[in-house]
A and B are shown apart, each in its own frame.
Chain A
Amino acid sequence: MKCHIGLFSLLLAVGFAPRLLAQENVPPPAKAFATAPEIAYDSVPNFLKLPTGLYLGEGIGVARNSKGDVFVYTRSGEASRLFEFDPKGMFIREIGKGLLGFQMAHAVRVDPQDNIWVVDEGTDMVIKFTSDGRVAMTMGRRPEFGGGLRATPPPNTPPPAAEPYRFGRPTDVAWDAAGNIFISDGYTNSRVVKYDKDGRFIKAIGTKGNGPGQFNTPHSIQTDAKGIVYVADRGNRRIQVLSNDLEVKAVYDNVGTPWALCITPGPHQYLYSSNSNPDNNNSLFNAVSGEIYKMELDGTVLGKFGKAGKQLKEFTTVHAMDCRNENDLLTAEITGWRVQRLTLHPQTQTSSRASR
C-alpha cells in the first residue's frame, strides 16, 4: 500500500469533489444554442512552437499586443509562467520567471499601449508590465507567509469584507479609453472594482448573490470603445453590462455560462463569449456546453462555433480568448493545456444560411 500514503491521502479529500460533480445536475443548453447559426472555422495545427523542454500547463490566459505577439499565462509545474511568442507562434521569451506575483495564473491582457497585465488568483495580485517586460505597477499584495499555511475556510464561510486595495482571487482586468482600470474580483469577493489609471480606488460594485449588480464568480471582464463594461457573471450564467460608473444597464442570459469574454476593436465592435465545458472535462456536460458565441454589443447573437472535445477545433474548457482580429481568434484551454488559433469564416456561414 506504500504508493497510496502520503500526499495521496491529502489529495483524497479534494478528489471527492469530482464524485459530486458527476452527480451534479446537467444544466440546460444556452438559450441561443438552438437558433444561433454555425460559423465555419479552422484551427491552425501546432500553432505555438515551444522550445524543447518547455511545456505549457493549463492554458489560462492568452492575449495579443498591437504587433500580433502572443502572450500566454499558464499554470506550470513550479509556479505560473508568462511566455511570449511572435505572431507565427515562435517562442520569443519568458517574462518574470520566478516572480513573487506568479502563483496561480488567471488572466493576461494587453492594453492599448501594449503594456502586459497579469492577473494572479494565487497571490491576489494584478501586475502591469511594460511592453519590454519590466514591472510598471502592482495592485493587491501577495499574502505574507508568516504563520504558516492558512487554513481553508469551511464551505459557506462568508468572505471577509472587501478592501479597496486587496483582492479576493481576482480573475480579469480591462481598461477604458481614459486608462481607468476595471478588475473582476473574483472568486471570493464577487465584485467589480474601478481604479484610475494610476491605480487609485474609485468605486466598487457587487456582493455575492444573483440579484442585479451582484455576482457569483465574475470571471471575465471587457470594455467597449464607449467605456461600457461587460462582466461574465459565470456562476449566475449571465453577462452583466455596466455603465462606466458601474451601474447595471443590461443582462444577457442567453449564451450559457460565460467563462471568457473578448471584444473586437474597430468601428463595429463584436462580443465573443465562451460557454465553456466544465474544467473537470466531465463529458456529461459536453452536450450542453463548449461552444463560443459571437454577439453584437447589444446582446444579439450572430452565430456560434465549436464544441467540447480534445481534438483540434474542439475545446477543453476555454478560459480566455483574444479577438483583436475579428476572424482570427486565440483561445486558451485549461484542461487541454493548449492555445488554439482559430480562423473564422463568417461568409461561409452566410452562404450556408442562404442555401437552406
Chain B
Amino acid sequence: MKRSVYLFCVLSLCFAAMPLFGQSIPEIAYDSTPNLLKMPDDIYLGEVLGVSTNSKGHIYVYTRTGSVNLTTGTNRVLVRSASRLFEFDQTGKYVREIGQGLYGFVQAHAVRVDAQDNIWVVDEGSNMVIKFDPEGRVLMTMGRKPEAINNPVRPPAPAAAGRGTAFPGDTFNGPSDVAWDAAGDIFVADGSVPSRVAKFDKNGVYIKSWGGRGEAPGQFSSPHSIVVDAKENVYVADRGNKRIQVFDTDGNLKTQYANVGAPWALCITSGPHQYLYSSDSNTGDFENATIYKMELDGTILGKFGAGGKQLKAFGTVHEMDCRKENEVYVGEITNWRVQKLTLHPQKIESSRTAAAK
C-alpha cells in the first residue's frame, strides 16, 4: 500500500524518465569539497570507519590510527587502544578529540549521533557500543571489551555452529552499527559471526535479538549498517547476502531490497520525505563503487560515485551521513579521508531530458 503511494510520487515527478527504469539508473551529478577536514599539524586520520554529523552540523570522525598494542600479562595478551574520535565544526575546522586513549577504543567501526546529539561509537575490536553526551562524557557503555586474547589464537568454532539462530544477550562480537527508534530503543547490528540485530531499551536493557547467520529471509551474513526511519522501519544492510532487509521494530521482516549490490553503509535523510542511501562499496580497487539513492520502499531514484583515489572517487565507503538530502558525508577506509558530497539531483532531470532527446 505504502509502495503504491511512493510509486505514485515517483511516477508523477519523473514521468518522462519512466522508460529508463529497469534499463539504466540515472546518474546524480555531485561535487566534493576539496580538503574538507583541516587537521592540526600533528594529527592524521587513518582509515575512516565512521563519520556522522550532529544537529549543528559538527562532524564526528571515528578512525583507525596507529598500531594496536599487545602487551603481556602473566599468561595473557592484553589489547590496547588504537582508534580515535575527532570532532570538527561544520566548516571542517578541527574542534577536539574525544576519549583519547579510551579503554574501549580498539578497532573503530562506526560513529552515529542520535536525536539528542549524543555521540555513539561502535568498536568491533572491543566489542563495545559507547554513548557519549554532547560534551564528550561517557553516559553509557554496552558490551564489554575482552580482558585478554589467547596466544596463540585458538581456532574459532565453525561458523556453521551459529547458523540460523540469533543468540540472546548483551554481549557483542564484532558489532558494526547502532540506530534508534523514536522511543529511544537501541538497535545494534552485531557482527559477522553472530549476524544478529539486538534490541535494547533506552536505558540499555536487553529486549530481544533476531537474525542469526544464514541466507534465509530474516537471517544475515554480516549485518553491516543499520538505520531506522520515522515510521519505525528498521533497515539492515545485509552485506554478505547483498540485500537490505526491512523489519518492524520487533524484528518482523517486512521486505527486502536486493538490487543495490552489497550494502556496506546506509543512511537515511531527515525531514518529512525521507530517502535512503546505500553504498555498494569497492574494496580498494577501482570497480563497483556506487551509492544508490532510494525511496524508502526500495525504488531506486539514482546513483553516483566511482572507485578511485581522486576527489569525488571512493576508496571503500564505510559509513555515510545524510542528515541533509543533498549533503552526503562519506568516510572511506582505503583513502583515509572524509568527503563532503554536494548532490545536484536537478541535473538528473536535464541529463534525462538530454537522454530522451
Residue ranges of A at the interface with B (Cβ–Cβ < 8 Å): 1-4, 6-19, 21-23, 50, 52-53, 55-58, 74-79, 103-104, 121-124, 143, 145, 149-153, 168-169, 188, 279-284, 286, 309-311, 316, 334-338
Query: Which residues of chain B from 76 to 99 have a CB within 8 Å of any chain A CB?
Result: 76-81, 97, 99
Q: Could you tell me if A22 and B74 are in contact, using CB atoms closer than 8 angstroms?
A: no
Indicate if the CB atoms of B316 and A149 lie closer than 8 Å.
no
- Contact yes or no, B203 A150, CB < 8 A: no
A77 and B101 contact, Cβ closer than 8 Å, known pairs A103-B73, A149-B151, A150-B74: yes
Given that A8-B107, A19-B167, A283-B169 are known contacts, is A57 also in contact with B102, CB under 8 Å in the complex? Answer: yes
| CB pair B74 A188 closer than 8 Å | yes
Q: Which residues of A contact B204 (CB under 8 A)?
A: 309-310
Interface size range on B against A: 35 or more
The SS class assigned to the A binding surface is loop
Q: Given the complex of chains A and B, what is the CA–CA distance between A150 and B75 in angstroms?
A: 6
27 A-B pairs whose Cβ atoms sit less than 8 Å apart in the complex = A4-B222, A8-B174, A11-B125, A11-B146, A13-B150, A13-B153, A15-B127, A15-B146, A15-B173, A22-B169, A55-B103, A77-B100, A79-B80, A143-B74, A151-B152, A152-B148, A152-B152, A169-B74, A188-B74, A280-B144, A281-B143, A281-B144, A282-B169, A310-B140, A310-B203, A310-B204, A337-B141
Given known A-B contacts A11-B127, A150-B72, A169-B74, A76 and B156 have beta carbons under 8 A apart: no
Q: Which residue of A lies closest to B205 (CB)?
A: A283
Q: Closest CB of chain B to A45's CB: distance in Å?
A: 12
* A13 lies within 8 A of B149 (CB): yes
Contact partner of B153 (CB less than 8 A), chosen from A10, A280, A283, A316, is A10
Shortest distance from the beta carbon of A86 to any chain B beta carbon, whole Å: 19
Cβ of A231 to closest chain B Cβ, rounded Å: 21
B334-A152 in contact (CB<8A)? no
Contacts of B4-46 to chain A: CB distance below 8 A: none
A227 to chain B, nearest CB (A): 30
Known interface pairs A3-B49, A79-B71; A13-B80 also in contact (CB < 8 Å) = no
Known A-B contacts A15-B174, A77-B80, A280-B170; the reply to A10 vs B149 at CB < 8 A is: yes
A18 adjacent to B124 (CB under 8 Å): no
Contact present for B127 and A284 (CB under 8 Å): no
Q: Which residues on B sit within 8 Å (CB–CB) of A23?
A: 167
Nearest CB of chain B from residue A175's CB, rounded to whole Å: 25
**Contact B162 A19, beta carbon cutoff 8 Å:** yes
Indicate if the CB atoms of B75 and A153 lie closer than 8 Å: yes
What chain B residues lie within 8 Å of A103 (beta carbons)? Answer: 71, 73, 78
Question: Does B157 make an interface contact (CB < 8 A)?
Answer: yes
For B141, B157, B284, B334, the residue with the greatest tally of chain A CB atoms inside 10 Å of its CB is B141
The answer to whether B150 touches A14 (Cβ under 8 A) is yes
Q: With the chains together, A58 CA to B144 CA distance in Å?
A: 9
Answer whether A3 and B318 are a contact pair too, CB < 8 Å, given A149-B151, A310-B140: yes
CB neighbours of A57 from chain B (8 A): 102-104
Q: Which residue of A lies closest to B139 (CB)?
A: A310
Whether B147 and A104, one on each chain, are in contact in the complex, defined by CB atoms closer than 8 angstroms, is yes
User: Which residue on B lies nearest to A22, using beta carbons?
Assistant: B169
Determine the residue in chain A with the shortest Cβ distance to B209. A22
Minimum-distance CB pairs A-B, first 3: A57-B103, A18-B171, A77-B101
Give the shortest distance, in Å, between A128 (CB) and chain B (any CB). Answer: 20
Given contacts A8-B125, A79-B80, contact A309 B169 (CB under 8 A): no
User: Which of A6, A283, A338 has the most chain B CB atoms inside 10 A of its CB?
Assistant: A283
Whether the Cβ atoms of B171 and A7 lie closer than 8 Å is no
**Chain A residues within an 8 Å CB radius of B146:** 11, 14-15, 17
Contact of B171 among A50, A53, A280 (CB under 8 A): A280
B283 at the interface (CB under 8 A from A): yes
Expressed in whole angstroms, the Cα–Cα distance for A13 and B146 within the complex equals 10
Known A-B contacts: A1-B283, A3-B124, A9-B153. Give 17 more (CB < 8 A): A3-B333, A11-B125, A13-B154, A14-B146, A19-B157, A52-B136, A77-B81, A104-B76, A122-B71, A150-B74, A150-B75, A150-B151, A152-B77, A282-B169, A309-B204, A316-B141, A337-B138
Are B109 and A3 within 8 A (Cβ)?
A: yes
B74, B137, B143, B153: residue with the most chain A Cβ atoms closer than 10 Å: B74
| A80 CB to nearest B CB, Å | 9
Q: Is the CB of A12 within 8 A of B75?
A: no
Minimum Cβ distance to chain B for residue A99 (Å) = 13
Alpha-carbon separation in the docked complex, A340 to B143 (Å): 20
Q: By the criterion CB–CB under 8 Å, are B316 and A77 in contact?
A: no
Q: Which residue of A lies closest to B146 (CB)?
A: A14
Residues of B within 8 A of A15 (CB): 127, 146, 156, 173-174, 191, 193
Q: Check A122/B78 contact, CB under 8 A, given A55-B99, A79-B71, A279-B144.
A: yes
Is there contact, CB below 8 Å, between A16 and B157?
Answer: yes
B271 at interface (Cβ–Cβ under 8 A)? no
Residue B168 is within 8 A (CB to CB) of chain A in the complex: yes
Q: Is the CB of B73 within 8 A of A123?
A: yes
Q: Give the distance in Å from the alpha carbon of A336 to the alpha carbon of B130 in the complex.
A: 10
Instruction: Check A78 against B77 for contact (C-beta < 8 Å).
Output: no
Q: Determine if B272 is an interface residue (Cβ-Cβ < 8 Å).
A: no
Q: Could you say which residues of chain B place their CB within 8 Å of the CB of A17?
A: 146
Question: In the complex, which residues 183-217 of chain B have their Cβ closer than 8 Å to any Cβ of chain A?
Answer: 191-194, 203-206
Q: CA A55 – CA B198 in complex, angstroms?
A: 27
Task: Give the chain A neighbours of B97 by CB distance below 8 A.
Answer: 53
Q: Is the CB of A4 within 8 A of B174?
A: yes
A18, A19, A78, A168: the one within 8 Å of B81 (CB): A78
Residues of chain A within 8 A of B144, CB atoms compared: 279-281, 334-335
Known: A15-B127, A283-B205, A310-B204. A152 touches B151 (CB 8 A): yes
- Which of A12, A168, A281 is close to B74, meaning CB atoms less than 8 Å apart? A168
Contact present for A12 and B102 (CB under 8 Å): no
Min C-beta distance of B72 to chain A, whole Å: 6
A53 CA to B148 CA, complexed, in Å: 25
Does the CB pair A22–B153 fall under 8 Å? no
Known contacts A19-B173, A55-B99, A309-B203; A149 and B334 CB within 8 A of each other: no
Provide the residues of chain B in CB contact with A16, threshold 8 Å: 156-157, 173
Question: Are B284's CB and A2's CB within 8 A?
Answer: yes
Closest A residue, CB atoms, query B105: A77
